[in-house]
């Protein structure tokens, strides 16, 4: 019997090629499930052409591909597929914006953005490949970006 790992969806959004193990962080950034009542399915450690990956599917909701660019910090190779009637009608590779707000925590414990202040963390992209980001407040570059994801 063919194993049904990934059930196709009729309408909605498929986020593919998420770095294996990071689906949960992607959901967190997208505020799922709090922000949606849609059916969401997650597949982890799926074998793909380029090794293992995670996949997230959100049914009956077309997420704005550009809004999803912020997940590029966690999943730089992710692709966003908009599905209508089982067909991919739009495909988008995530692209890092020049600034990411509220996604990662600064690794510097004495950074003011980690204090009880009414601001969100804010990073500027120093370089996209290799990925380097810099805290807008304290200029510090985190060594492990994924570790700081909120």
Site for another protein in 83-112 (CB under 8 A): 106, 108, 110-112
117 binds, among Zn ion, another protein, none (CB under 5 to 8 A by kind): another protein
By CB under 8 A, name the one of 31, 85, 118, 130 that touches another protein.
Answer: 118
By CB under 5 A, name the one of 108, 141, 146, 149 that touches Zn ion.
Answer: 108
Separation of alpha carbons 22 and 74, rounded Å:
7
By CB under 5 A, name the one of 19, 137, 142, 148 that touches Zn ion.
Answer: 137
Q: What is the CA radius of gyration of the chain?
A: 16
| CB-nearer residue toward Zn ion: 59 or 141 | 141
Q: How far is the CB of 122 from Zn ion (least distance, A)?
A: 9
Contact 63, 40 (CB under 8 A): no
Measured in degrees and rounded to the nearest 5, phi and psi for residue 149 equal -60, 130
By CB under 8 A, name the one of 67, 87, 95, 139 that touches another protein.
Answer: 139
Give yes or no for residue 115 binding another protein (CB under 8 A).
Answer: yes
Separation of alpha carbons 77 and 39, rounded Å:
24
Number of shown-chain residues binding Zn ion (CB under 5 A): 7
Which residues 6+ apart lie within 8 Å of 17 measured at CB?
Answer: 48, 50, 53, 55, 75, 77, 78, 79
Separation of alpha carbons 56 and 42, rounded Å:
5
Footprint of Zn ion (CB under 5 A): 106, 108, 111, 135, 137-138, 140
């Amino acid at each position: 019997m063919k194993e049904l790992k990934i059930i196709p969806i009729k309408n909605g959004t498929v986020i593919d090629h998420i770095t294996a193990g990071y689906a949960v962080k992607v959901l967190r950034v997208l505020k799922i499930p709090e922000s949606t009542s849609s059916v969401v399915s997650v597949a982890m450690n799926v074998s793909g052409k380029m090794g293992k990956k995670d996949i997230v599917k959100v049914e009956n909701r077309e997420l704005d591909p550009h809004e999803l660019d912020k997940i590029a910090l966690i999943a730089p190779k992710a692709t966003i597929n908009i599905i209508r009637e089982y067909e991919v009608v739009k495909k988008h590779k995530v692209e890092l914006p020049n600034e990411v707000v509220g996604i990662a925590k600064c690794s510097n414990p004495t950074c003011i953005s980690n204090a009880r202040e009414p601001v969100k963390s804010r990073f500027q992209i120093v370089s996209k490949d290799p990925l380097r980001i810099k805290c807008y407040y304290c200029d510090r570059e985190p060594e492990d970006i994924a570790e700081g994801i909120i």
